[in-house]
Chains A and B, each alone.
Chain A
Amino acid sequence: MAEFIDLVLLAMLAITALRIIFLKDLFAVVMLFGIYSFLSALIFVSLDAVDVAFTEASVGAGISTVLMLGTLALTGRTEKENQHSSLLPLVVVVVTGAALIYGTLDMPPFGAADNPIHEHVAPRYIEESPKEVGLPNMVTSVLASYRGFDTMGETVVVFSAAIGVLSLLGVRRRKENESAESGLMEHRVLHVIAKLVIPMIILFALYVQFHGDFGPGGGFQAGVIAAAAFILYSLVFGLPRAFAVVSPTVLRYLAAFGVLLYAGVGVVSMLKGGHFLDYNVLAANPISGQHYGIIIIELGVGITVFAVMLSIFYAFGSQAERSDIK
């Protein structure tokens, strides 16, 4: 039964991907990308990888759809006709695909118990992490403690993405009298519902942030969900009022602050006589040290992701508002 569900989901994934290739209307393509992400999230759920599914649903289907729509508002919604011959790309794709399929021939059989992935570090994490880290959600233990360096790298990648986008686009602040039309000012139903829903979304983000040690969730998902709440606010009430709540300058400091908080935990653990990001020395008891460290670095991740996502949206949104004026 489970295999049947997987097959149906994978087939739908393939159909969506094919449709994306052949469609010329970019608006529909963005929507199909959202569906694609949701389908992959479902596949991850059926593979029992709920943390990954959660990230895929919130980042892939949620934020990136909004950001791509923001891009479309700048670039227009139809794809340009391709003038080049498509022979060379076809050859490249066929050769690459053939090489990849040839590579899969050497892979161990799917789902076999003696695959390398089941014999290397995974058993050690499963056996030792309850004693060494003591978190019920082992994914968070691996992500934040055993692989703390990698996660810090990911946070820095997110941060540098913000630097890239902001240096290319920049956030334009407009004067109050210029932007009377922004937002859905006439839309009373949306106003009421947004006021009702936004606090719930922020509460949920905080739950995901601080409950990530016990259930699926963590800094990345929480940051994205919190950013979604503010994006909803600025879509409904207009960018100027969103700037009044969280200004782009504050976001820039917050994005840097999250990374610094993460790295700061590492520096403090060095000062206390351990290695970089060795949480055992943060408290008298190694397990409480691990808990402190993980909660603080997850908070750093959440702050950075929130600030980066929101400032990228600000950058796109303020440019799109400007390009409306003709």
Chain B
Amino acid sequence: MAVLDIISSILLLLGVFFGISGAMGLFRFPDFFTRVHASSVTDTLAAMLIIGGLLLQTSFDLNTAKLLFILLFLMVTSPTASHALAKSARHGGLLTLPESRSDQKES
């Protein structure tokens, strides 16, 4: 049991680390697309790690199944949400930082 506890806490801590680094990226990165990139990649990873850590804490019952369903749902929806966000930003005419800089030089 103790081995599982140690693995689970390592997973949880890693998840927290990636969650925090995603939040930092969301604040510190310069433009919209890098920010979405930071938050989406780390968010999905953090969710997987945290739920993986929680899975090891269950005793293989209904809670395990529920957590697996949540994991599946997040793995499908979270990248889709970021994709939709980035695509509609692009569709609405938002430029990346290098693009907007070169625009300014030309004009």
A interface residues, Cβ below 8 angstroms from B = 184, 187, 189-190, 193, 196-197, 200
Contact = CB atoms under 8 A, between A and B. Distances in A.
A187 B73 CA distance: 20
Contacts of A187: 84, 87
A197 B77 contact: yes
Nearest to B91: A186
Contacts, number: 18
18 contacts: A184-B84, A184-B88, A187-B84, A187-B87, A189-B80, A189-B83, A189-B84, A189-B87, A190-B80, A190-B84, A193-B76, A193-B77, A193-B80, A196-B76, A197-B73, A197-B76, A197-B77, A200-B73
Given A193-B76, A193-B80, 13 more contacts: A184-B84, A184-B88, A187-B84, A189-B80, A189-B83, A189-B84, A189-B87, A190-B80, A190-B84, A193-B77, A197-B76, A197-B77, A200-B73
Contacts of B77: 193, 197
Contacts of B73: 197, 200
A200 B80 CA distance: 16
Interface string B65-79: 000000001001100
B91 to A, nearest CB: 8
A190 B84 CA distance: 7
A117 B87 CA distance: 52
Interface in B30-53: none
Closest 10 pairs (CB-CB, A-B): A193-B80, A189-B83, A190-B84, A193-B76, A189-B80, A197-B77, A196-B76, A197-B76, A187-B87, A190-B80
A215 to B, nearest CB: 10
B29 to A, nearest CB: 18
Contacts of B84: 184, 187, 189-190
Contacts of A200: 73
B105 to A, nearest CB: 30
Contacts of A197: 73, 76-77
A189 B50 CA distance: 26
A200 B76 CA distance: 12
